[in-house]
């Protein structure tokens, strides 16, 4: 059986980082970990080819070669998923789809022509697909039982060998699935449940062994939605990983996503730094406590968020953070409060979006009951789309605050000032990878960044002043600092995209719905907080 695995295109998003990837001759930030895990679960007597459409297009020879084409997609890849299903069907291929988006909204790929829907987690539903294909079935829908979740300790090592390594900036591995928290807007807990399931340390180290054996020597992203969801097991992993990294002379720098309560566990943070983790993404969402309680993100209300960011930074983990605007009951000026918080805490890189109701989340169901959803489940959702429901304050106010805050956060001089302040307090790395000569590509990227930010742009004075200051005050983070300065190249372009897209959609929205009646909130924050 010849299986062609195809990963659809992403639109330009906050995470696409084209400008920075261009500088270092890469095409994409992260590989399609789900598809290479699917390839590892399917019978190894089958043949596989993988095309990441973010790297290149599928060739006619590859379409001809395939017996079955398998797609995996997230919601932002919806349009290309539909188009590529059409391409495969036009060539008479059997098509199977899976991944987060088809699992949440199976009727969209089905209507587009998919023959097999492999939904929920593949460890459970791929064996059903294999049996169906071996029986000669031409279609089928495979779902896990209600609440059924696989034991990920049996998940095989992903087929990293199918990837075109040179195209990616970072590799990805996954240690756990699921998160113990209950944020109302989150689809992770719908897809993977609230009981974090982890692999064994040995299993994860085997994945790293394989990457090492294949010659990978750059960064690795732990894609867990909340890396510290199961603290006990994560510490066991970190203890083993620390030894593995020492023995292999730190071939990988690591980063991940975690909940803010990481700051309360100094032992965990120290272990992470000792394993060569250098950055962590935190879902902060908003500094407004009422909004955090409204969205059931209670873990962010138990202490000072600013203190948490500082503790994590001082330990040696650069903080990236996510912010959202548009929560129910939100008061005017939320955008301003986010800008002030970001400046106060010096977080260099923040993903910032208007709240979206993802299909089948608790937020989606509540808004559906309240008759407030604006788009159906097949609406477009990403960082440059308007809120997809009727908010409790005028949508135009939220959109203006969003664009204004995004613009100010990524004003080039403001950004460099913030990066400088963050790196002055960033704890020094605790492990010493052997020194190596920079590659020609790295030197070229460095020259371009220095030329653009140090000579051409209005950043020229502070660029050199800050560079010198970091060299004098915190030289151990110098290389890391320069890499984050380079991100300015992306944000300068991306903030313009956000502005143009949101303002364009807002004009259209206002032309169709010039006056919005205020929405009455009949679920006060206090009542919701008490119910948990």
- Choice from 186, 282, 395, 405 touching ligand SF4 (CB under 6 A): 186
Task: Give the sheet arrangement for strand 68-72, strand by strand.
Answer: 47-52, 2-7, 68-72, 94-98, 116-118, 140-142
Give the closest residue to 356 by CA, choosing from 395, 321, 319, 320.
Answer: 395
Site string for ligand SF4, 212-251 (x = CB under 6 A): -------------xx-------------------------
Rounded distance between C-alpha atoms, residue 86 and residue 184, angstroms: 34
Nearer Cβ to ligand SF4, position 193 or 379? 193
Verify binding: residue 179, ligand SF4, rule CB under 6 A. yes
Smaller CB separation from ligand SF4, 293 or 492: 293
Q: Please check whether residue 158 is in contact with residue 33, taking contact to mean a CB–CB distance below 8 angstroms.
A: yes
**How far is the C-alpha of 67 from the C-alpha of 526, rounded, in Å?**
56
d(CA 385, CA 143): 31
Plot region of 420 (φ>0 → left; ψ -120 to 50 → alpha; else → beta):
alpha
CB of 86 to ligand SF4, least distance (A): 33
Closest separation in Å from C-beta 241 to ligand SF4: 22
Specify the stretch interacting with ligand SF4 by CB under 6 A; choose among 112-120, 183-191, 340-348, 399-407. Answer: 183-191
Stretch that binds ligand SF4, among 91-99, 109-117, 186-194, 410-418 (CB under 6 A): 186-194
Q: How far is CA 156 from CA 44, 51, 202, 417, in A?
A: 11, 21, 12, 45
Q: Is 324 in the site for ligand SF4 (CB under 6 A)?
A: no
Which of these segments, 95-103, 156-164, 176-184, 340-348, binds ligand SF4 (CB under 6 A)?
A: 176-184
Q: Interface with ligand SF4 includes 183 (CB under 6 A)?
A: yes
| Strand-strand pairing, 176-177 and 197-198 | antiparallel
Interacting residue with ligand SF4 among 4, 189, 222, 269 (CB under 6 A): 189
Buried b (16+ CB within 10 A) or exposed e, 248-278: eebbbbbbbbbbbbbbebeebbebbbbbbbb
* Whole-angstrom distance, CA of residue 507 vs CA of residue 231: 47
Nearest residue (CB) to ligand SF4, 118 versus 188: 188
Taking the complex as a whole, how short is the minimal distance between the CB of residue 183 and ligand SF4, in angstroms?
3
CB nearer to ligand SF4: pick between 299 and 390: 299
- Other CB atoms within a 10 A radius of the CB of residue 521 amount to 12
- Please list, in sequence order, all residues whose beta carbon lies within 8 angstroms of the beta carbon of residue 353, skipping any fewer than 6 positions away: 14, 322, 323, 324, 325, 382, 383
Q: Which stretch binds ligand SF4 (CB under 6 A): 19-27, 178-186, 211-219, 504-512?
A: 178-186
Interface with ligand SF4: number of residues (CB under 6 A): 10
What would the x/- binding string for ligand SF4 be over residues 261 to 290, using CB under 6 A? ----------------------x-------
Q: How far apart are CA 133 and CA 111, in angstroms?
A: 21
Instruction: Tell the smallest beta-carbon distance from residue 230 to ligand SF4 (Å).
Output: 12
Determine the interface stretch with ligand SF4 among 163-171, 179-187, 366-374, 405-413 (rule: CB under 6 A).
179-187
Choice between 188 and 445, CB closer to ligand SF4? 188
Q: Which of the stretches 5-13, 182-190, 236-244, 334-342 binds ligand SF4 when contact is defined by CB under 6 A?
A: 182-190
Contact 412, 457 (CB under 8 A): yes
Q: Look up residue 531 and give its DSSP letter.
A: T
Q: Which of 33, 188, 347, 355 binds ligand SF4 (CB under 6 A)?
A: 188
Q: How far apart are the first and last CA of the chain?
A: 50
What CA–CA distance (Å, rounded) separates 525 from 532?
A: 11
Query: Is 147 or 514 the residue whose CB approaches ligand SF4 more closely?
Result: 147
Which tokens sit at 305?
């968020």
Span interacting with ligand SF4, options 73-81, 127-135, 184-192, 431-439, rule CB under 6 A: 184-192
Contact residues toward ligand SF4 (CB under 6 A) are 179, 181, 183, 186, 188-189, 225-226, 259, 283
């Amino acid at each position: 059986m010849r299986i062609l695995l195809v990963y659809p295109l992403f639109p330009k998003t906050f995470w696409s980082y084209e400008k920075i990837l261009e500088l270092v001759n890469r095409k994409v930030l992260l590989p399609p970990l789900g598809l290479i895990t699917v390839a590892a679960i399917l019978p190894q007597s089958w043949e596989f080819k993988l095309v990441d459409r973010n790297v290149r297009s599928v060739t006619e020879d590859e379409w001809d070669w395939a017996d079955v084409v398998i797609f995996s997609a997230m919601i932002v890849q919806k349009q290309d998923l539909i188009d590529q299903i059409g391409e495969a069907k036009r060539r008479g291929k059997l098509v199977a789809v899976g991944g987060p988006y088809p699992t949440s909204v199976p009727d969209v790929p089905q209507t587009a022509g998919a023959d097999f829907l492999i939904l929920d987690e593949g460890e459970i539903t791929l064996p059903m697909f294999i049996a169906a294909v071996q029986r000669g079935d031409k279609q089928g829908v495979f779902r896990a039982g209600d609440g059924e979740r696989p034991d990920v300790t049996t998940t095989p090592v992903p087929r990293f060998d199918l990837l075109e390594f040179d195209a990616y900036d970072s590799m990805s591995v996954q240690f756990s699935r699921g998160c113990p928290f209950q944020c109302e807007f989150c689809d992770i807990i719908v897809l993977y449940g609230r009981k974090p399931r982890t692999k064994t340390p040995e299993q994860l180290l085997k994945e790293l062994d394989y990457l090492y054996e294949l010659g990978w020597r750059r960064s690795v992203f732990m894609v867990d939605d909340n890396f510290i969801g199961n603290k006990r097991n994560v510490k066991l992993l970190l203890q083993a990983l620390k030894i593995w990294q020492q023995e292999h002379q730190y071939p990988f720098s690591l980063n991940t996503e975690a909940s803010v309560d990481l700051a309360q566990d100094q032992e965990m943070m120290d272990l992470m730094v000792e394993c060569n983790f250098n950055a962590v993404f935190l879902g902060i969402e908003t500094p407004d406590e009422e909004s955090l309680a409204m969205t059931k993100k209670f873990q962010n209300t138990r202490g000072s968020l600013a203190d948490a960011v500082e503790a994590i930074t001082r330990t040696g983990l650069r903080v990236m953070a996510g912010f959202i605007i548009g929560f129910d009951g939100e008061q005017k000026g939320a955008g301003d409060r986010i800008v002030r918080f970001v400046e106060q805490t010096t977080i260099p890189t923040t993903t910032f979006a208007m709240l979206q109701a993802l299909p089948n989340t608790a937020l989606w169901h509540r808004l559906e009951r309240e008759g407030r959803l604006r788009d159906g489940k097949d609406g477009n959702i990403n960082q440059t789309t308007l809120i997809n429901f009727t908010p409790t304050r005028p949508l135009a106010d939220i959109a203006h605050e969003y664009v204004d805050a995004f613009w100010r956060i990524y004003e080039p001089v403001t950004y460099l000032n913030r990066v400088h302040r963050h790196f002055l307090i960033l704890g020094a790395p605790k492990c010493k990878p052997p020194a190596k000569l920079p590659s020609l590509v790295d030197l070229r990227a460095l020259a371009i960044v220095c030329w653009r930010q140090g000579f051409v742009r209005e950043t020229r004075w502070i660029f050199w002043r800050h560079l010198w200051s970091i060299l004098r005050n915190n030289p151990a983070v110098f290389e890391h600092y320069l890499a984050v300065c380079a991100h300015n190249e992306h944000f300068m372009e991306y903030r313009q995209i956000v502005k143009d897209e949101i303002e364009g959609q807002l004009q259209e929205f206002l032309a169709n719905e010039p006056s919005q009646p205020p929405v009455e909130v009949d679920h006060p924050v206090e009542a919701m907080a008490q119910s948990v």
